A = this chain, B = another copy of it.
Amino acid sequence: MARTTGSEGSRTEEAIRTAAVELIAAHGFEAMTMRQLADRVGVQPGSLYRYFPSKGQLLVELLVEHLEFLVSRWDSEQPEDADPRVRLRAFVDFHVRSHTLRRREAFVANMELRSLAPGDYRRVVALRRNYENLLTAILSDGIAAGCFRLPDARVATFAVLAMLTGVGSWYRDAGRLGKRELIEIYTQMVMQCVGAQ
């Protein structure tokens, strides 16, 4: 549900989303209870159902929202018809940024696919595939253009995504590395990984 007027409602909905992402990231979807969630938001459990028809649907909305955000954001951010190397650099930058900025959303989107009902699973996996395909396209173009040296574009997609996504599970803003440094390190590793010339 989207909600239109009256500020309280949409504020509560946002609070639920935020709290849900935090709780799911911390304990896992199955381990989060609606009671915990309600407590954190400061409402009664029954009130959650004004905003989300079920616990499962709440998860779906979180994941869909995140994946659509990723794809549409990249869409508006990607460099125009550039060299695969430029596009890959931009992708690494984008991915690392969004996976540290929206760390918990990204984490949940990666971990909780299996908690979805079959129909929702297919829908969300399709969205994720869209995102993966963005990278596969870059890598394939680069291989075709002779500027990447990779044995298999699809496997490389999985490999690069896994490498980049992993950042969310250890990076902390308060840690040793600044975000700019982090992105540079990953950029160098990815460019070496794909054998960029």
Contact = CB atoms under 8 A, between A and B. Distances in A.
Interface of A: 26-28, 30-31, 111, 114-115, 149-152, 155-156, 158-163, 165-167, 169-170, 177, 182, 184-186, 188-190, 192-195
Contact of A163 (B111, B114, B162, B184): B162
Contacts of A149: 192
B170 A26 contact: no
Nearest to A25: B114
B188 A114 contact: no
A192 B165 CA distance: 19
Closest 3 CB pairs of A and B: A162-B166, A30-B30, A193-B193
A158 B170 contact: yes
